[in-house]
């Protein structure tokens, strides 16, 4: 609630010269400033290893805004005013004395400091220690943590322990940028702001749930990180599981950090942990080969990488949630790079009608489907059966037609925010609702680690798939053997 928010007047951005900062953080902060949402006297201090004077950093930021802001949002006067908030201090996180210089640059932080930390996993511990040593972890400091926060349960615990030695959980803001997306939050509005879904939102009403995050991009200069992570850890452990939780959770009593995160955590703890024997039947991995995406010829993963690798760039998983509500309902999850189209989508397939009165008159029924398209378009679509117009002399013709709610069209006047705009503002104002709690993360890793252990135990290697396709053909078999077809239209 706005009344309980406590804005801070200083923001410290680690990785300020990096890709995320240029593409997302600086444009997001500008977006907030442009709309008068940042506290008037708030300063933004950038830090990274690169040695920059304040002016050089401002120039760097101006170039990032020029490059990544849409044309209609570039307002010269507002950009200049925004850049005045910026300053910079170079820092090598392995050098304790550099934190003292950082603290001097920040000045008095007693009125509050929000830190956005994205760093290599190996630098987490020294960075946290450095901040603490320089007095930058006091009771009025909040810390936002960007992934990767470890690569398995053990390493994530190490990082979380290192942070917890200095910051209590209520000042730690773990970022999953999917939670900042408007349509993702719309899942909450759809489920808990309407009465008609809830009675059928369970194993009695729902046949299966599919979640797809398909990307057309490849490695994107991130070989160092991505090849060590792979699709499961890069996308499923965090973003896709968060979507699973929002679809599957029990109704929270209130819209607040405890109520919502308690319910999500319960879903994560109810995820079926696969045994090594179950893994080959319930997961498919792939790696993109050469092909064509959007009419352009592209190289395969190994060519892009320039060395051999068994990292998966595609994964499809059949999982289940072992609780009362979801007993027997498969959740099919998949994500991949260099796929046919860019699309993030949740498809809920309802159970068929118990008896078709149209069968004797030739009418065929499809079970209802609810499609929640997160991107690139934002819409919610309910596929329902309708009768085709006509006198039906040769039988009744029924057809699936969409009931459409286009969020783009319905809210055409309002600007679509970058996910980081909301998350940075929530960090500055101290609202943890859309940030991930430690127990959520640990339950996510427990599920993921079991799958990876199964891959090792069964010596599973990713199957090659053509760039521009929907992944290896075995991923089709994963659903088809249950009589289910991936929602690919």
- Decide if residue 378 touches ligand BG6 (CB under 6 A): no
Taking CB under 6 A as the criterion, the residue among 146, 215, 378, 449 binding ligand BG6 is 215
CB of 24 to ligand BG6, least distance (A): 9
CB of 326 to ligand BG6, least distance (A): 25
- Decide if residue 207 touches ligand BG6 (CB under 6 A): no
| Contact (Cβ atoms closer than 8 angstroms) between residue 53 and residue 94 | no
- Decide if residue 312 touches ligand BG6 (CB under 6 A): no
Residues 138, 239, 272, 397: which is the catalytic one?
239
* 239 noted as active-site residue: yes
Q: Report the residue number whose CB is nearest to ligand BG6.
A: 234
CB of 213 to ligand BG6, least distance (A): 6
- Decide if residue 421 touches ligand BG6 (CB under 6 A): no
What mask of x and - would describe binding to ligand BG6 in positions 162 to 201, judged by CB under 6 A?
Answer: ----------------------------------------
CB of 234 to ligand BG6, least distance (A): 5
Question: Which CB, 245 or 398, lies closer to ligand BG6?
Answer: 245
What mask of x and - would describe binding to ligand BG6 in positions 335 to 364, judged by CB under 6 A?
Answer: ---------x--------------------
Give, as ranges, the residues between 431 and 460 that touch ligand BG6 (CB under 6 A).
none
Question: Which CB, 130 or 218, lies closer to ligand BG6?
Answer: 218
- Decide if residue 304 touches ligand BG6 (CB under 6 A): no
Question: Which CB, 58 or 343, lies closer to ligand BG6?
Answer: 343
- Decide if residue 234 touches ligand BG6 (CB under 6 A): yes
Annotated catalytic residues are 239
Binding residues for ligand BG6, rule: CB under 6 A, are 215, 234, 344
């Amino acid at each position: 609630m706005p009344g309980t928010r406590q804005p801070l007047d200083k923001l410290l951005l680690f990785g300020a010269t990096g890709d995320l900062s240029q593409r997302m953080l600086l444009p997001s902060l500008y977006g907030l400033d442009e709309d008068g949402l940042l506290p008037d006297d708030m300063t933004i201090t950038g830090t990274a290893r690169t040695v920059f004077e304040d002016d050089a950093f401002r120039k760097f930021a101006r170039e990032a805004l020029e490059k990544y802001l849409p044309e209609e949002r570039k307002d010269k006067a507002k950009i200049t005013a925004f850049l005045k908030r910026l300053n910079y201090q170079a820092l090598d996180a392995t050098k304790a004395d550099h934190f003292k210089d950082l603290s001097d640059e920040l000045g008095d932080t007693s009125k509050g400091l929000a830190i956005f930390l994205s760093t290599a996993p190996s630098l987490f511990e020294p960075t946290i220690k450095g901040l603490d040593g320089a007095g930058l972890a006091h009771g009025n400091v909040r810390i936002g943590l960007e992934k990767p926060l470890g690569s398995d349960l053990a390493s994530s615990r190490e990082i979380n322990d290192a942070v917890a030695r200095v910051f209590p959980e209520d000042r730690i803001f773990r970022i999953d940028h999917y939670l900042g997306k408007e349509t993702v939050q719309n899942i909450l509005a759809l489920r808990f702001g309407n009465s008609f879904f809830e009675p059928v939102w369970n194993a009695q009403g729902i046949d299966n749930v599919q979640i797809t995050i398909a990307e057309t991009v490849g490695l994107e200069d991130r070989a160092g990180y991505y090849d060590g992570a792979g699709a499961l850890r890069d996308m499923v452990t965090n973003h896709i599981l968060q979507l699973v939780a929002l679809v599957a959770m029990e109704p929270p009593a209130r819209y607040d950090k405890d109520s919502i995160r308690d319910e999500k955590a319960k879903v994560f703890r109810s995820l079926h942990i696969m045994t090594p024997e179950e893994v080959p039947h319930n997961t498919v991995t792939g790696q993109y080969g050469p092909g064509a995406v959007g009419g352009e010829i592209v190289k395969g993963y190994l060519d892009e990488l320039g060395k051999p690798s068994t990292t998966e760039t595609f994964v499809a998983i059949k999982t289940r949630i072992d609780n009362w509500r979801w007993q027997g309902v498969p959740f099919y999850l998949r994500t991949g790079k260099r796929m046919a189209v860019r699309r993030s989508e949740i498809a809920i397939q309802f159970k068929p009608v118990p008896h078709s009165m149209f069968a004797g008159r030739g009418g065929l029924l499809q079970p209802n489907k609810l499609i929640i398209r997160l991107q690139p378009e934002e819409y919610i679509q309910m596929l329902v059966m309708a009768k085709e117009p006509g006198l039906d002399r040769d039988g009744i013709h029924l057809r699936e037609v969409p009931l459409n709610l286009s969020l783009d069209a319905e809210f055409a006047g309002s600007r679509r925010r970058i996910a980081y705009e909301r998350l940075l503002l929530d960090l500055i104002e101290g609202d943890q609702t859309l940030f991930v709690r430690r127990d959520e993360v640990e339950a996510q890793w427990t599920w993921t680690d079991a799958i990876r252990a199964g891959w090792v135990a069964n010596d599973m290697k990713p199957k090659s798939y053509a760039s521009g396709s929907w992944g290896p053909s075995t991923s089709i078999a994963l659903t088809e053997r249950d009589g289910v077809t991936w929602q690919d239209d």
